[in-house]
Every structure is written in structure tokens, then in C-alpha cells.
Chain A
Amino acid sequence: DAKTTQPNSMESNEEEPVHLPCNHSTISGTDYIHWYRQLPSQGPEYVIHGLTSNVNNRMASLAIAEDRKSSTLILHRATLRDAAVYYCILRDTSGTYKYIFGTGTRLKVLA
């Protein structure tokens, strides 16, 4: 299974954009890049996913490098409710069905 590398923690000021990086240098052509977040005392929740092109949804944007060896989750305006652990995950579409979570990035949002 391809692995991802994320910083252990990051801080952001409220109302400012946040860029959460993820390295996945061993990504294969069939791996989708997924992001989940885990709020305190809750199960993880889906944020966004993509394959090659940048993606936007109501929660965030996903910027994928041209060589796909890295990606960045962008929260356009961080709020206190965005304080969570953010996980970058690769999912193989060729049939393993597994989602392997790493240790994620703990985002702290400062008021």
C-alpha cells in the first residue's frame, strides 16, 4: 500500500486560509487521494477526494501536484470548528478496497 506523509501539527489563525500538505511519492496511477478529518471525540468524516485534477466542494479545495506525488488540502477560511486531525489517504482502485489512515495533521485554529 502506498504511504502518505503529513506534518504532525499545524496552527492557523481564525478566518485565514489553511494549506495542509501531504506527500505521497509512491502513489500509483490508480490511487485516488482522499482527505478525511476527525473532530474531537468523533469518528472521521469525509472531506474531499481527487485523482488528477484539482477539486472543490463546500468544505474545502484539493490541489494535486502535476506529478501527483503531493497534494494540498485548502481550507479557505479556517474557523474554530475546523480544529481537527486531518488525514490524507490513498485508495487503490484496482481492487484492494482498503483505506489506510496514517497519523494525520492536527490542526489548531487560534481565535
Chain B
Amino acid sequence: NAGVTQTPKFRVLKTGQSMTLLCAQDMNHEYMYWYRQDPGMGLRLIHYSVGEGTTAKGEVPDGYNVSRLKKQNFLLGLESAAPSQTSVYFCASRKGESTELFFGSGTQLSVL
């Protein structure tokens, strides 16, 4: 079991570029979440998914899009990156009847 795997681990973008962060889990979890964490701050929920083909907005969804075409994958897209999106991005997943979130190791994104 790899758990929750995030790709890439580091990325530097220029303002206006686009990219997609991949989150993959091999635990057959129904729920998946994307958070961002700015320096010295707590985690803020961007988007989440309660199952394949469904997504919902979290606290700070603007500037991001997500897709959950396969149960094991949750993609986070930045269409036009801005310096304000410089952050560490964490993905998490959870089994339907369980309360425990499993987190990935994070993606450090810098937008110049």
C-alpha cells in the first residue's frame, strides 16, 4: 500500500502558466480532498469529492478546478497560475464509513 501519493513534489511556474497536480490513492477511498497551506498557516480546503464523478467547493476554490474521473485519482488544476497560489498543496482521502483522513506528503508550488 502506497497510501496517498502526490505528483509532483515540487514545481515552479511562471505567472499565467497552467498545471495539474495529481493525487492518487490505492486504498479504495470514496472521499478525497485538496488543501493548501501557506507559510505559518493552517490548512484551507480548496475542493473535495465524495465519490467518482462528483466534486464540491471548499473554503477557497477560486482559481482552481478539479476532476474525479476515476475513484483513485483526484486532479487539481490551475488554469492561469498567480503568485498568490504559491503554497504547499496537500491531498487527503478517507474511507466512506471512517473518520480518519490520510494525507499525502504535499506538493510545494512556487509561482513567480
Contact = CB atoms under 8 A, between A and B. Distances in A.
B78 interface: no
A49 interface: yes
A94 interface: no
The B contact surface, by secondary structure, is strand
Contacts of A43: 4, 90, 92, 103-106
Contacts of A46: 100-102
Contacts of A87: 42-43
Interface residues of B, number: 24
B105 A97 contact: no
Contacts of B56: 97
Nearest to B42: A103
A38 to B, nearest CB: 8
A99 B45 contact: yes
A34 B43 CA distance: 15
Nearest to B4: A43
A57 to B, nearest CB: 11
A103 B41 contact: yes
A91 B31 CA distance: 14
B99 A101 contact: no
Interface of B: 4, 31, 33, 35, 41-45, 48, 50, 56, 58-59, 90, 92, 99-106
Given A45-B103, A97-B48, A100-B59, 6 more contacts: A32-B99, A36-B101, A43-B106, A44-B90, A87-B42, A98-B58
